[in-house]
Amino acid sequence: IAELGVMMMTTILVTIVMLLIWQINIIIVLSFLVFFLGLELTIFSSVLWSVGDGSWIILVFAVVLFFIMYVWNYGSKLKYETEVKKKLSTELMRQLGCNLGTVRAPGIGLLYNELVKGVPAIFGHFLTTLPAIHSMIIFVCIKYVPVPVVPQGERFLFRRVCGKSYHIFRCIARYGYKDVRKENHQTFEQLLIESLEKFIRREAQERQLESDGDEDTESDDEMNSSRLLIAPNGSVYSLGVPLLADFTCPEKPIFEASTSAEVVPFLPGETLDPEQSLERELSFIRKAKESGVVYLLGHGDIRARKDSWFIKKLIINYFYAFLRKNCRRGIANLTVPHSNLMQVGMTYMV
């Protein structure tokens, strides 16, 4: 039935093309339409007559698959929209300060989420649940882009979250539809840290170029225009994903509540040249990497509100919940040892 439906639709579209584009004689067009569409309708009617003889099984199977795909798409869309609405504001992060209102323990925390911008709400759940948070946090978002293969040098895109003193970054890991994720967690961590160091070096170069341009300007308008002209390597923008963060965030003095004695904080009023600031931040990343990398996974679940329609409750609370429990989770694709894994559950009311 589906094949015949496609054939009939193709016949109708070809007829329209013959009339509007090719501008063939109307008599020839009608003859083509009557002959082929009549033949296809005849075959279609014979297929419908055979439904009672056993073909109904295929129709039932198609309806069941359509229902499963609809429920999964509907629930996933509601979950993503809720995560976007519940994300933490940058102003709240600034009010918490560079220590985020808790203790910053040495190490790197990779928080997996589906948001390409903003602070996910599950991060606030980690802050309120855990007694301490890592000295460096990276929000990792894995996205599959419509290209065959993403070059290794362009796989990771970084931007800062809040100021430099927070040591929080956003990372978008891009994969093409032909890319096979065969690297283990150690290789993934190494590639991610190397890309982060390249981003920090490039950011320092951008800041240096920005400051050099400001010295050559003679007015505030020219200074603002020089900032607008600064851009990273064009290849980074080849897939249309932003790379650099907004550099207008005020930087605060760094006071790490860390138990590591190797981390040297910036003293109030201390001024460092760009080279010293760059080397200090790179050293901070290496020492955090030596302390260990922990994968923070947020298992978000959705439930329908009490005032929702009965059909919505049935779809979300039962059908979608059943599919979520029986699907392959992302944790299975990470190949991360359980000693480096931390998972927190969170329920959203939709």
Give dist(CA 315, CA 302) in Å, integer.
Answer: 11
d(CA 180, CA 31): 51
**pLDDT tens digits, 183-193:** 788 888 899 99
Percentage of residues in the chain having pLDDT higher than 70: 79
C-alpha of 231 from chain center? 23
Is the pLDDT at 77 greater than 90, yes or no? yes
Least confident of 100-104, 233-237, 344-348: 233-237
pLDDT for position 222: 40
Q: Is the pLDDT of residue 89 over 90?
A: no
Whether pLDDT at 128 is above 90: no
Q: What is the mean pLDDT of residues 255-271?
A: 42
Separation CA 331–CA 91 (nearest Å) = 31
With a cut of 80, say whether residue 38 has pLDDT above it.
yes
Q: What is the average pLDDT across 165-172?
A: 91
Give yes or no for residue 79 having a pLDDT over 70.
Answer: yes
Residue 269 pLDDT > 80? no
With 50 as the cut, is the pLDDT of residue 258 above it? no
Q: Can you give the pTM of this predicted structure?
A: 0.68
Of residues 237 and 322, the one with the higher pLDDT is: 322
Give the pairing of strands 156-160 and 168-175: antiparallel
Flag whether pLDDT at 160 surpasses 60.
yes
- What are the pLDDT digits (tens) for 6-22? 888 999 999 999 988 88
Question: Given this model, what pLDDT does residue 137 score?
Answer: 93
Q: Which residue type does 185 have?
A: H
Q: Strands 132-144 and 103-112, how do they pair?
A: parallel
Q: Tell me: the pLDDT tens digits for 284-315? A: 999 999 988 999 888 788 899 998 899 999 99
Q: What value does the mean pLDDT of the chain take?
A: 79
Q: Would the pLDDT of 136 be above 70?
A: yes
Q: What is the SS3 assignment for the chain?
A: CHHHHHHHHHHHHHHHHHHHCCCCCHHHHHHHHHHHHHHHHHHHHHHHHCHHHCCHHHHHHHHHHHHHHHHHHHHHHHHHHHHHHHCECHHHHHHHCCCCCCEEEEEEEEEECCCCCCECHHHHHHHHHCCEEEEEEEEEEEEECCCCCCCHHHCEEEEECCCHHHCEEEEEEEECCCCCCCCCHHHHHHHHHHHHHHHHHHHHHHHHHHHHHHHHCCCHHHHHHHHHCCCCCHHHHCCCCCCCCCCCCCCCCCCCCCCCCCCCCCCCCCCCCHHHHHHHHHHHHHHHHHHCEEEEEEEEEEECCCCCCHHHHHHHHHHHHHHHHHCCCHHHHCCCCHHHEEEEEEEEEC
pLDDT at res. 72: 94
Give the rounded percent of residues in the chain with a pLDDT score beyond 90: 28
Look at residue 333 and tell me whether its pLDDT is greater than 70: no
